[in-house]
Structure 1
Amino acid sequence: MINNFAEYFQDQHDIFLEDISYSRLETEVATECSLNCTDNINTQLIGKRGIKLIITRTLEFEPESVFSMKVAFGANLYFMENRAEELDWSKINLAEEFRKNGEFIVNELMSRITLMIAQITASFGQPPLILPPLIPADSSGNDI
């Protein structure tokens, strides 16, 4: 775990919509179904300049009905010039670091994902589906 993780990055970062898909399903809706919400964090080094972070939230009903949806937002984070060389970034589990210590950017991306899901689900005449704009803590220590 990296202490003061946010201090390794500049305040300026680029946020973007990476991917979005929505499929309304024409199947009969079961009387009982559950909504599965899966969050995924992917990271990629951008040379020695920074890190590309992508957070994806996938929604699927079980049994398959109503709709399926995936929304992914990303950010390019740039290293502080005087801090970039302090760590060997290629040996760090960056997805885990962002999950545990990345509130400075994860909260921003999850808020956008939550808003997009609410807007899309409201577009077909039903109350919007509003999910918590956070990634649940995984107490087992496993990757998400």
Structure 2
Amino acid sequence: MINNFSEYFENQHDIFLEDISYSRLGTDVVADCSLNCTDNINAQVIENQGIKLVVTRALEFEPTSIFSMKIAFGANLYFKEDKIKAFDWSEINLAEEFRENGDFIINELMSRITLMIAQITASFGQVPLILPPLIPTNDRKDK
């Protein structure tokens, strides 16, 4: 893992909505169902510039009912001039690096995803679904 990962990037970055989908699956509420929440991180090196990071959260009920949803927000992060050649960035597992040490940007993207989920689920007249804006990491412990 890279120590002080945030120091390799400029403070300014671009944030964007990458993808969003919502499907209402039925009006019947199933008494016993569970919500599956799947998070995914994708990071690509933009040659001699920086990294394109996309965080996706998908929600589905089991058994399939109520709705399914997927929201992805992304960020373009730009390398500091003196840090571009610090590593062979294409050889690093960037998704894992951001999952473990990317709180400086992951928190911002997950906050936007959480807000969007709450707004969409509130739009059909129910209490909004508010999920923690976190991606589980190896160092976080359940309390």
Deviations 1:76-110 (A, max 9, x none): 00000011101010110000000000000000000
Query: 1:138 & 1:7 partners in 2: Cα distance?
Result: 22
Q: State whether structure 2 residue 26 is matched by structure 1 residue 20.
A: no
What is the correspondence of 1:1-144 to structure 2 with a 5 Å cutoff?
1-26=1-26, 28-138=28-138
Query: What one-letter code is carried by the residue in structure 1 that aligns with 2:90?
Result: S
Query: What one-letter code is carried by the residue in structure 2 that aligns with 1:98?
Result: F
Query: 1:109 & 1:26 partners in 2: Cα distance?
Result: 29
How far 1:30 moved relative to its partner?
A: 2.2
TM-score for the superposition, normalised by structure 2:
0.94
Query: 1:137 & 1:10 partners in 2: Cα distance?
Result: 24
Query: 1:66 & 1:53 partners in 2: Cα distance?
Result: 30
Query: What one-letter code is carried by the residue in structure 2 that aligns with 1:81?
Result: E
1:142 aligns with none
Query: 2:125 & 2:75 partners in 1: Cα distance?
Result: 32
CA RMSD of aligned residues (A): 1.0
How far 1:138 moved relative to its partner?
A: 4.4
CA contact (8 A) 2:19 2:73 kept: yes
Query: What one-letter code is carried by the residue in structure 1 that aligns with 2:19?
Result: D
Query: 1:64 & 1:29 partners in 2: Cα distance?
Result: 11
Query: 1:39 & 1:138 partners in 2: Cα distance?
Result: 14
Query: 2:15 & 2:28 partners in 1: Cα distance?
Result: 38
> Percent same amino acid at aligned positions?
76
CA contact (8 A) 2:52 2:76 kept: yes
Query: 1:17 & 1:65 partners in 2: Cα distance?
Result: 26
How far 1:26 moved relative to its partner?
A: 1.9
How far 1:27 moved relative to its partner?
A: 6.0
Deviations 1:29-83 (A, max 9, x none): 3210000000000011111100000000000000000000000000000000011
Q: What is the count of residue pairs matched by the alignment?
A: 139
